[in-house]
Structures are given as structure tokens and as C-alpha cells.
Structure 1
Amino acid sequence: MAHVRSRYADLTREELAAVVPELLLIGQLIDRSGMAWCIAAFGREEMERIAIEEWAAASPIYTRRMQAALGYAPERPGEGDVVSIFKGLQLDIGAPPQFMDFRYTVHDPWHGEFHLDHCGALMDVEPMGPDYVRGMCHTIEDPTFDATAIATNPHAQVRPIHRPPRTPADRTPHCAWTVTIDPAHPVPAPVPALAITERLRAATLDLAPIDVDDEGLADYTGPLLSDVDFAAFSHSALVRIADEVCLQMHLLDASFAIAVAARTGEDAEALLRIRRKQLLGVAGIAAERLARALGASDLLEDDALDAAARVLAVHPLLNPAAYVSASVELGEVAVHPSPAHEDDAWIALCGPAWPDALRTIVRAVHPRLDVEAEGSDDAWRAVVVLRDDEVPEASEVGVVRFSTGAAFAFAPRRSLPITPV
């Protein structure tokens, strides 16, 4: 079977090792954008319910996809161990490395613990007060941690040892949890929206297999590592991981849209408005971070179009290539009907009538860049142009910049195997 060539295949192995953790962090920032507008539209408590439905309807699908892609899926579905659960968290947009600094302990295949030495999400909500902290660390995390874990084993339970609000205020680690697998544990019912997301093209999209002959690791079948060393993976494996992480984002956005639609009802304009605001915010910060990771930021004007093309080619709005049919050339993006349009994904929100997301992306690379678009809703062409004047940053991007993740810097880490204690 012929597979669509990934756009990430054009990056070097070194570039991919830098881009993959960026993509994981970008996925976390989707909620920093979307939930702000949910609070404004529906209030804090309803926002919490949206977050639960959103993550619980997406994470079980993408958890199993990554297991299958990297070869650590349980031999029999539903019989995975805590090591498989922890590996999944390390490759989950809900737990980007270092920003959500998970530290793991494995007692045996059925018992483990993790704590967070640093929780970027907590750093974002603590200034908002204890109600928001309890909402995230209690109301949202209890059902969503379990929803992720039971994708590996339906009898897995994640339970707190301690968690915020922090007492004392500077307590570390920020939180600690046990993970226990016991056949006596009841299996929680999935959220209804999971049945909808499981039918999406993103849930079952076929991607090119990893080339096992490529230099470097082709899977994650070895021991659990304290920190994933992305540079140890092969070029082929990193391409697949990058594509899978982008699908995680699309699945999360799809479940976000389902949850918001349940609140907006027949008001399609309200749903569209919130979804586009969410996209604008995360698109701008994503472009900024990807430009920095690829060395495409702070370029001379003569290089601005080339820098924009490099960022657009790897931006999650347009990836994976098997999901979003588009060609990215110097100064031009051409979009065609694709599985992403069938799912009403991010790209389906864009077009000649609303090129704002592409504008936000290119302006994050250079503030004088703009786009001009023409065509139909699902087949259109956007030309990147350089204007005379700089354009101020979109207010939606400023909302996401409130997150400490916007400027977060990754640090070198040693990758050590974790053995049962």
C-alpha cells in the first residue's frame, strides 16, 4: 500500500529531535487557548466539564495509536502494565516533557507511582486562585487520568497521594499519584463522545510504518526511561512520532468541538467563533516556537518567505500530510479536500473567507508577513506576501502567551532506564 509522504520527512534527524518535544508542548497549549474562551462563554464550572469530555474522548484513541506505532502495545488488548501506561504519558500532549515533569517509579507490572517535579499547568492556574487549581487538579484530573490509563488496561486506577492546592504554598513535588492495576477494579464507563471520535478519520488514519533498518531506535520496546531521548530514535521513527502527535492534537480539537457544540446547541456561529479563537491562539504560539526550534526566527527580510514556508510545512494545522492535503512552496500554500475536511478539523475552519489562522502563523515568523487567499471552502490557494508595515499580534495569541508554556525552554536531560524497586 502506498502511503502519503510525511512533510516531517524533509527535516533532518537532529531537527526532528528538537521539533517533536515542541509539538508535544504545543498540544498542551491547545487548552490554554480554548478554555479561556469557554470560561468567557459558559463559566468556570462548565469549562471544567468541557475539559473532562474533551480529554476523555481523545486520549484513549491516541494512546493506543502511539502504542501500536512504537511497538509497546500489550500483547493482548486491555492487558497492558504500568510501564506501558507510563510510556504513553511520555508521548502524550497532556504531559509534554519537562513542562509537565513526570518522574516515575515502578514497583512491579501492576503497581507504580509518579510525581511532578514541575507542573507547567499548575504554574498557569495558581495565579487564578484555588478554585481554578481544584478544578484542574481534582475535578478534571480524576476522570481524565483514568480515561488515559484504561486505554492500556481497563482495570487501571490513578489515585492521588497529594495534590494542589499546595500546602505549604511552595510544596514540591507539585503532586504525586499511584497507579494500580487490579482485576477487582470496576471499569469506568467511557464518555459518550468517545464513540463519536472513534469514528473520525483521524482515529483510524493509516500512516507509513517505521523503517526498522533506519539508523537509531525504531521503537520503544526497551525499558521505561526516566526521560525520553528523542535524539536516539531513528529519522523514520521521529517522523512517525511527529505525525502521531499532530493527530493527537486533531483528536483533541475534535472532542473539544463536540463538547462545545453540546453547549452552543443550534447556534453554529457561536461554536465556530470559539473554535476559531482557539485555533488562532495556539497557531500563533506554535509557529513562534517552531520557528525558534528550526532557527527560522529573527531572519532578514529577504529570508522571511523561506522561513515562513519552513514553519508552515511543519505546523500542526497542515499536518500530518496523510490527513491534511496541502502543498507548501516558497510563498504559497495550496489546500485540497482531505480527510481533515471530512472530520471538520482545523483546516476546515480556514479558507479564502477566513485566512486568519495562516496570517497568524506567518506573522509569528515575521510581523510584516501576510497572506492573500482565493478559491473554495475546501480547495484554495494562499500566497504569502511581505507588507510595508508590521501588524500587531492577535489578541487570541496574547491569551495563550499568558501560559508559562509559551516561553518555556527545554533543557538537556540524561535518559536513564527505570527498574522496579
Structure 2
Amino acid sequence: MVTSSRYADLTHGALAGLVPELLLTGHLIDRAGMAFCIEAFGQQGMTDVAIEEWAGASPLYTRRMQRALRFEGDDVVTIFKGMQLEIGAPPQFMDFRYSVTDRDHGAFHLDHCGALLDVEPMGESYVRAMCHDIEDPTFDATAVATNPRARVRPVHRPPRHPADRQPHCAWTVTIDADSPEVQPIPALAVNARSRAAGLELAEVDRSQPGLADYSGPLVDDVDFTAFSHSALVRIADEVCLQMHLLNLSFLLAVRARTTDEATARRIAVRQLTGHAGLTAERLHRALGLPATPEGAARLLELHPLANPAAYVDLARDGATVTVRRSPAHEDGAWIALCGPGSTAPLQAVVRAVDPHLDVDVTGSATEWVATVVRTDVAAPEAGEVAVARLSGGARFSFEPRRSLPIFTA
């Protein structure tokens, strides 16, 4: 029996606003973790972690979304649809503009690259690491999910000359039957064996009004309000799985660079704490939850670290959440980094609602109960959340856009 989604009781409007928020906060996993990778492994080590992180996850979650929304194929349009629904390219923050020539040829450029704007203040070496060293292998790795003979190649890209060059970058996508197939990195096979990769979720109810899939034309801006309630629930759960798969790939890359499990866990917990707090802040605002202990517990219930429900066993009663052993614990996913001996990520979530809130956690590492309580003293923002907040994604606001089909020239 497939476990029902925790997002199923949200309204259609709330879901349509939640999905782009999840896509954006998934993208910010990097911002939350890479500072600690630089600290532990240096700039080159951080670059290598980022490459392996994305290349070890994106083919898995791209195929999942293709199956869920019935747009499987081997052409450029399929590649672009997958990019529109993944945390590597959240709408507007990473403002991809697509064009299609034919099934084997297309192009895109970025009118706004939030990732670039985050790293430009760090200097040209970091820009070059992201836009050259990381993008080259990870763009091709993403295309592997659709067609291993697809190649994504730059027309121009940063460092920007002149400094205000627009668009931020431009790329071509070509599928060449004579090209050798791109080979996946070894970590992809490891991640493919995770419980997250093979998790079964409820099929979209095709009887509901609205789009049940993305089998129709490629559009320039995905209008999430056009999807049915059931489709949005499935998309939200899939995006949460994207985050888990990316995080599992991140952990594989980190552990490949240290034999000290305590160091690896410390990096993982710090990344989660920063990401959990920043994500909680955005979701709390987007969903309009009350600034109460009950509202904070509801936020924990809807937070990506606790979803999808088929992956993380969590139940809420008022201001209390109960966690039991689940597939996420078997994978060593985010929820496995929380508990009585590791409360910082949970504190970051509830303090995004109100800095006077805290959590009282009792139980074991895999079976625990957390009650949100109010204190008299406001807690300072966690340093890990402050690091994640340096990203422009912390302040980014989505704008209304029309969704228009992209025609083949």
C-alpha cells in the first residue's frame, strides 16, 4: 500500500505556491553546505564535491519526474521539460529561456542566474569553478537521463566581460547519434540503490480537473496553477525526493574525502541546519502558518526533511511530532541527522517561525518525540542559517508570468 502524501490536504492554491518554493530551496542545498566543504577540503575539494553531488543525483530524479508526469522521451524537448522541474534550475531564480529547432537541436540562455550572483562577489576563481568546472560535467550528466548522446555546450558564459553582460550565459543542446555516450559517474550507481531512488509514490489521479501530466507542449514558464491538485501533490513529493537524492549524493562525495565519520557527520549536520532554517523561513511565509508552537510543528510536518511521507515516518499531534524508523533512516538521510542528540536542525526550523521557540526532544536516534515549546528568551540565529542566508535565494520573490508554448522554428 502506498502511503498518502502529507501535502494532500493543502489547497490547490497553496500547492501551486509551494512547488516553486520547494524547487528554489532545493537549489539552496549547495549554499548551505559548500562553505563547510571549503573549510574542510579547500576550494578544489568543494568543486569536486559539487560535481559529484549533482552528477550522482540528477539523472535519478530526472527520470523519476519524467515517469511521474508522463513526458519520457529522448529528444531536446524532453531534456528541457526535465530541467524545468528540477532543483538545479528553479523557476525565475535560475531564469532559463529555451528555444527548440528540432528534436535534436535546441538552446537556452539565462536572463537571471541567482547562482552566479551569489558567487560573483567571491571572485573570478569561484565563478570559473562554478560556470566551467562544475557546469560542464553536470549539464551532460543531467542530459544522461534523457539521451546519453546529448551534449550541452556554451556559446558564452561567465566570468562576464563586460561585468554587466546579459544574458548571463547561453548554451546549445545537440543530440548526435554518432557521439559516444556520456558515462555516469560511479556514485550514481550507489545512489541508485538507495531507498529514495526506488521509492513508490501514489499515481496522479487523472480524474481531477487540471493537467495530470506534462505530456503536452513545452512551455516557456511552467504554470503550476494549471496542474491538477493530485499532480501538484506528486510534484511536491518528487521535488522533496530530489532534495534527498542530492543530499545523499553530497554525503557520498564528502565521505569520499575523509575517513573520519565524525567530520563527515559534522559537515552534514551543519549543511542541514542552514538549509532547514532557510527553507522553513520561506515555507512559513508562503503557507501563511501561524507563529505558534502548533504552527511550527505543522511546518516541521511539511518541511522537506520530513517528506515525502512514504520516505519519512513522522506524525503530528498539536505541537508534538513523533518520528519512527523509516526508509530515510536506512539511507542515512536528513531525518537520521535529527534526534535527542542532534537538535540543531529542528531548532532552526521552529525558530524560523519565532526565535522564542525551541524543541524538547526525547527518545532514541531513530524513534523520538519532539515537542515545540515557547521560551522567554529569543535565540540568536544559528551561524549555519546565517551562512545559507548569504544567497540571494533567501530574499528572492517570484513574479506572476504567463505560460506560452515554445514552438519549433
Please classify the TM superposition score into its range, dividing by the shorter chain length: over 0.9
Q: Distance in 2 between matches of 1:89 and 1:236?
A: 21
Q: Distance in 2 between matches of 1:311 and 1:130?
A: 39
SS of equivalent to 1:253:
helix
> 1:27 is matched by which residue type in structure 2?
G
Match of 1:241 in 2: 235
Q: Distance in 2 between matches of 1:152 and 1:96?
A: 19
Match of 2:130 in 1: 136
Q: 1:291 aligns with which of 284, 298, 301?
A: 284
Q: 2:192 aligns with which of 187, 195, 198?
A: 198
1:97-176 to structure 2, matched below 5 A, reads: 97-176=91-170
Match of 1:89 in 2: 83
Match of 1:16 in 2: 15
Q: Report deviation, 1:220.
A: 0.2
1:330 aligns with 2:324: no
> 1:293 is matched by which residue type in structure 2?
A
Conserved 8 A contact 2:107-2:170: yes
1:5-404 to structure 2, matched below 5 A, reads: 5-74=4-73, 80-265=74-259, 267-296=260-289, 299=290, 304-404=292-392
Q: Distance in 1 between matches of 2:381 and 2:335?
A: 21
Q: Distance in 2 between matches of 1:230 and 1:329?
A: 30
Q: Distance in 2 between matches of 1:260 and 1:338?
A: 23
Q: Report deviation, 1:329.
A: 2.4
Match of 1:409 in 2: 397
Select between 306-315 and 32-41 the one with higher mean Cα deviation: 306-315
Q: Distance in 2 between matches of 1:326 and 1:295?
A: 22
Conserved 8 A contact 2:294-2:372: no
SS of equivalent to 1:107:
strand
Q: Between the two proteins, what is the percent identity of the paired residues?
A: 64
Q: Give CA deviations for 1:103-143 in whole Å, capped at 9, x if unaligned.
A: 00000010000000000000000000000000000000000
SS of equivalent to 1:247:
helix
Q: How many residues align?
A: 409
Q: Report deviation, 1:295.
A: 1.3
Q: Distance in 2 between matches of 1:208 and 1:40?
A: 41
Gaps of 5+ in 2: none
Q: Report deviation, 1:167.
A: 0.6
Q: TM-score normalized by structure 2?
A: 0.99
Q: Give CA deviations for 1:373-419 in whole Å, capped at 9, x if unaligned.
A: 11111111001101111101100000010000011000001000000
Match of 1:77 in 2: none
Gaps of 5+ in 1: 75-79
Q: Distance in 2 between matches of 1:239 and 1:329?
A: 22
Q: Distance in 1 between matches of 2:12 and 2:88?
A: 24
Q: Distance in 2 between matches of 1:307 and 1:171?
A: 44
Q: Distance in 2 between matches of 1:356 and 1:171?
A: 41
Q: Report deviation, 1:306.
A: 2.8
Q: Distance in 1 between matches of 2:378 and 2:368?
A: 25
SS of equivalent to 2:8:
helix
Conserved 8 A contact 2:148-2:183: no
Q: Report deviation, 1:188.
A: 2.1
Q: Report deviation, 1:328.
A: 1.9
Conserved 8 A contact 2:301-2:314: no
Q: Report deviation, 1:183.
A: 0.8
Q: Distance in 2 between matches of 1:284 and 1:329?
A: 22
Q: Distance in 2 between matches of 1:381 and 1:295?
A: 25
Q: Report deviation, 1:258.
A: 0.4
Regions of 4+ moved over 6 Å: none
Q: Give CA deviations for 1:191-249 in whole Å, capped at 9, x if unaligned.
A: 11111000000000000000000111100000000000001101100000000000000
Conserved 8 A contact 2:320-2:371: yes
Q: Distance in 1 between matches of 2:343 and 2:133?
A: 37
RMSD after superposition? 0.7
> 1:286 is matched by which residue type in structure 2?
T
Q: Distance in 1 between matches of 2:331 and 2:298?
A: 26
Q: Distance in 1 between matches of 2:267 and 2:164?
A: 35
Q: Report deviation, 1:310.
A: 2.7
> 1:260 is matched by which residue type in structure 2?
V
SS of equivalent to 2:280:
helix
Q: Report deviation, 1:355.
A: 1.6
SS of equivalent to 2:397:
coil
SS of equivalent to 2:241:
helix
SS of equivalent to 2:248:
helix
Q: Distance in 2 between matches of 1:360 and 1:311?
A: 11
> 1:6 is matched by which residue type in structure 2?
S
